Amino acid sequence: MSQIIDVKVPDIGDFTDVPVLDQFVKIGDSIKVDDPICTLESDKATMEVPCSATGLVKEVLFKPGDKVSEGTVLIRVESQAAASTKTPPAQPASSPTETASGAVASAAIAVAVPDIGDFTDVPVIDIFVKVGDVIKVDDPICALESDKATMEVPSTAAGTIMAVLVKLGDKVSQGHLLLQVEGKAGTVAVAAPAPAAAPIPAPSPSAPPAPVKASPPPVAAAEPGRALGALVHASPSIRAYARELGVDLTRVSATGPKKRILREDVIAYVKGVMSGTISGPTASASGGVTGGGVLDLLPWPKVDFAKFGEIEVKPLSRIKKISGQNLSRNWVMIPAVTYHEDADITDLEAFRVQLNKENEKGGGAKLTMLAFLIKACVKALQKFPEFNASLDGDNLVFKKYFNIGFAADTPNGLVVPVVKNADRKSVFELAQESGELAKQARDGKAKPADMQGACFTISSLGGIGGTYFSPIVNAPEVAILGVNKSVTKPVWDGKQFQPKLILPLSLTADHRVIDGALATRFNVYLAQLLADFRRVAL
Ligand code: CAO
């Protein structure tokens, strides 16, 4: 027997009277649970409203421009089955239990936001899962974006998703429940910070948004052969950003997980159009706007590698995925220049070796070149405060503290632990602390708080080799020092060549804050400090 179901605007947070931007349904359409009905756009966010019923659209009670709030009826759907509405069951969390037959029963597992350092009330900018998805431990659930970092929250449980307890724009902190997963015993990786026995709140009536549909481009028609409104996957903030720049998202190549368009993808597209490597939409002779030509940004090449030989496919580690996004953004957005310098560390290395010999007897921590570099960099940052600053819109924020990040190579990828208040620590303390932080990072035990708050970063490849390289600035910092292996070289002293131990320095700086003269002064001063470490005490 059929029934008519009112599909209403779900809980959309504090928003009321939100204008409808796009309408995706009409009378007579067949619609399923999670199909998008319309897009709403407040001054803060763009939200897509998914359908909560399956059936035939009998009435559409809104049009673009209408203002709606939670509870406004959008469409009426004629449904054949009573079970066609989406009511994810709310089950109390419980431990997996044995049935009488001895089989392991499935259990509701609460997945919560893990320790995310000092961050609280961090907005959810993307959700990668929906009710019914089968999820594994470590699969990404959602992306959180603070003003400092974008973080992907991995699942700590495996099973079928029974309820998604967050929606785009929600602000979450450690312990906030994200999912209710029906899993089996042994499928929970790490206990979520929320107590396991905590009752799981009833799922919010708002289903997670279905994949987003592109809004009609503000200035350009779609290119030939590409339908307007083709499916694109992007968070509301990215869609708002694209609209601000007049970018048609259907033209942008996505590099994020599940073909999600990232901010840097939009920037890369705009840069491509500006530099002429991508042809943007152009006005046609008829006054309309047409698509691009042969220089359109090509999608990432899809090659069937197996055609050419044996292959093995391994997913990128979570660290690589997250750092990859940060590195791409920093590479694209920062006009950076790398400046090279050679430091004569003959005396410093002899001093370090001597101290380590003395220290060996006392069993103290080994003094590393990294510790001396941190100390010297702090002194140089104090002399050149622009290097200890960050851009914030049109302002430059000068920091009065000296936290130094250092790149550490770990089996899972690159991480950057931070030595806090390095100006207040001795070289011995810096060596000990950086050694401990590097070990924790390599063991996968580094805490988020240990990787936040850096003012300046050192990337030392000295233990590996190399001559010079171009490190990428770690935004919102404005400079990074790269160091390679020191080698003995002949240096002319005015009368003869002398063998000197030379440390190659590569300083990359954000040209918006630091020009070439300042960067070179910094490098020269740093080299002086390293050549005669007594200067650090002055
Ligand atoms: N020149 C010559 N030798 C050097 C050197 C240099 N600049 N720096 C270190 N060494 C030597 C050390 O003295 C040590 O030798 P001994 O064992 O004989 O004492 C050896 O190289 C190994 O040092 P290390 O690199 O393990 O130790 P460190 O404290 O100097 O560095 C850390 C620590 C965490 C910076 C380093 O281990 C590391 O991970 N580096 C990689 C950073 C990286 O990947 N950067 C690239 C980022 S961009 O992709």
- The predicted-structure confidence for 9-61, as pLDDT tens digits, reads as follows 888 877 888 888 888 888 888 898 888 898 887 766 667 788 888 889 999 99
Contact at 8 Å (CB) between 450 and 404? no
The finding on whether 480 has its CB within 6 A of some atom of ligand 1 is no
For residue 490, report the distance from its CA to the centre of ligand 1, in Å: 24
The finding on whether 458 has its CB within 6 A of some atom of ligand 1 is no
Contact at 8 Å (CB) between 45 and 169? yes
For residue 393, report the distance from its CA to the centre of ligand 1, in Å: 36
For residue 277, the model assigns a pLDDT of 66
For residue 119, the model assigns a pLDDT of 81
Atom of ligand 1 nearest to the CA of 408: 39
Q: Give nearest CA residue, ligand 1 atom 6.
A: 462
Is residue 210 over pLDDT 80? no
For residue 395, the model assigns a pLDDT of 95
For residue 184, report the distance from its CA to the centre of ligand 1, in Å: 44
Q: Give nearest CA residue, ligand 1 atom 14.
A: 463
Mean pLDDT of 201-213: 31
Number of separate helices (H) and strands (E) present in the chain: 7, 31
- The conformation of residue 64, written as its DSSP 8-state character, comes to T
Give strand ranges (E) for 51-146.
55-60, 67-68, 73-79, 107-112, 122-127, 134-135, 140-145
Q: Give nearest CA residue, ligand 1 atom 7.
A: 462
Task: Using most ligand atoms within 8 A of CB, pick from 369, 375, 506 the residue to mutate for ligand 1.
Answer: 369
Is residue 230 over pLDDT 50? no
The finding on whether 462 has its CB within 6 A of some atom of ligand 1 is yes
Atom of ligand 1 nearest to the CA of 463: 21
Mean pLDDT of 141-167: 83
Phi, psi of 322 (to 5 degrees): -70, -45
Query: Mind giving me the DSSP string for 164-213?
Result: E---TT-EE-TT-EEEEEEE-TT-B-S--SS-TTSPPPPPPSSPPPPSPB
Q: Give nearest CA residue, ligand 1 atom 23.
A: 463
Atom of ligand 1 nearest to the CA of 409: 39
Question: In angstroms, rounded to a whole number, what is the distance separating the alpha carbons of residues 74 and 222?
Answer: 28
Mean pLDDT of 426-454: 94
Any idea which residue has 């770690």 for tokens? 474
Is residue 479 over pLDDT 90? yes
Residue 254: pLDDT band by 50, 70, 90 thresholds? confident
Atom of ligand 1 nearest to the CA of 410: 39
The finding on whether 438 has its CB within 6 A of some atom of ligand 1 is yes
For residue 472, the model assigns a pLDDT of 98
Contact at 8 Å (CB) between 517 and 386? no
**pTM as predicted:** 0.56
For residue 321, report the distance from its CA to the centre of ligand 1, in Å: 24
Give strand ranges (E) for 463-537.
479-483, 487-492, 497-510
Whole-Å CA distances, 193 to 92, 172, 175 = 17, 13, 5
Most confident of 52-66, 133-147, 227-241, 331-345: 331-345
For residue 463, report the distance from its CA to the centre of ligand 1, in Å: 3
Q: Between 81 and 213, whose confidence is greater?
A: 81
- The predicted-structure confidence for 60-72, as pLDDT tens digits, reads as follows 999 988 999 989 9
For residue 208, the model assigns a pLDDT of 33
Q: Give nearest CA residue, ligand 1 atom 5.
A: 462
Among candidate residues 138, 126, 146, 171, the one with its CA nearest the CA of residue 448: 146
For residue 517, the model assigns a pLDDT of 98
Contact at 8 Å (CB) between 60 and 78? no
Mean pLDDT of 115-134: 86
The finding on whether 485 has its CB within 6 A of some atom of ligand 1 is yes
State CA 137 to chain mean position distance: 19
Which H helix or E strand runs over 159?
strand 159-164
Contact at 8 Å (CB) between 224 and 290? yes
Contacts of 384 (CB under 8 A, 6+ apart): 518, 521, 522, 525
Mean pLDDT of the chain: 80
The finding on whether 57 has its CB within 6 A of some atom of ligand 1 is no
Is residue 458 over pLDDT 80? yes
Please state which of the ranges 94-108, 263-277, 347-361 shows the lowest mean pLDDT: 94-108
Question: In angstroms, rounded to a whole number, what is the distance separating the alpha carbons of residues 171 and 482?
Answer: 37
The finding on whether 452 has its CB within 6 A of some atom of ligand 1 is no
State CA 22 to chain mean position distance: 29
Mean pLDDT of 211-220: 29
Is residue 311 over pLDDT 70? yes
The finding on whether 330 has its CB within 6 A of some atom of ligand 1 is no
Question: In angstroms, rounded to a whole number, what is the distance separating the alpha carbons of residues 235 and 124?
Answer: 9
Atom of ligand 1 nearest to the CA of 431: 29
Ramachandran region, residue 280 (left: φ > 0; alpha: ψ -120 to 50; beta: rest): beta
Residue 362: pLDDT band by 50, 70, 90 thresholds? confident
State both tokens at 311.
């292959």
| Packing angle, helices 516-531 and 369-383, rounded to 10 | 130
Question: In angstroms, rounded to a whole number, what is the distance separating the alpha carbons of residues 499 and 501?
Answer: 7
Contact at 8 Å (CB) between 92 and 108? yes
For residue 38, the model assigns a pLDDT of 85
Is residue 224 over pLDDT 50? no
Q: Which amino acid is at 46?
A: T
Question: Could you confirm whether 233 is annotated as catalytic?
Answer: no
Residue 91: pLDDT band by 50, 70, 90 thresholds? very low
For residue 460, report the distance from its CA to the centre of ligand 1, in Å: 6
Q: Give nearest CA residue, ligand 1 atom 48.
A: 471
For residue 109, the model assigns a pLDDT of 85
Mean pLDDT of 226-233: 45
Question: In angstroms, rounded to a whole number, what is the distance separating the alpha carbons of residues 38 and 213?
Answer: 9
Among candidate residues 31, 69, 76, the one with its CA nearest the CA of residue 50: 31
For residue 412, the model assigns a pLDDT of 83
For residue 417, report the distance from its CA to the centre of ligand 1, in Å: 15
For residue 89, the model assigns a pLDDT of 35
Question: In angstroms, rounded to a whole number, what is the distance separating the alpha carbons of residues 154 and 136?
Answer: 9
Atom of ligand 1 nearest to the CA of 438: 34
The finding on whether 410 has its CB within 6 A of some atom of ligand 1 is no
Contact at 8 Å (CB) between 7 and 53? yes
The finding on whether 323 has its CB within 6 A of some atom of ligand 1 is no
Q: Give nearest CA residue, ligand 1 atom 24.
A: 463
Residue 101: pLDDT band by 50, 70, 90 thresholds? very low
For residue 289, the model assigns a pLDDT of 33
Question: In angstroms, rounded to a whole number, what is the distance separating the alpha carbons of residues 201 and 214?
Answer: 33
The finding on whether 439 has its CB within 6 A of some atom of ligand 1 is no
Which H helix or E strand runs over 332?
helix 318-333
For residue 41, report the distance from its CA to the centre of ligand 1, in Å: 51
Contact at 8 Å (CB) between 188 and 109? yes
For residue 323, report the distance from its CA to the centre of ligand 1, in Å: 21
Please state which of the ranges 219-223, 291-295, 360-364, 444-448 shows the lowest mean pLDDT: 219-223
SS in 3 state form for 246-315? CCCHHHCCCCCHHHEECHHHHHHHHHHHHHCCCCCCEECCCCCEECCCCCCCCCCCCCCHHHCCCCCCCC
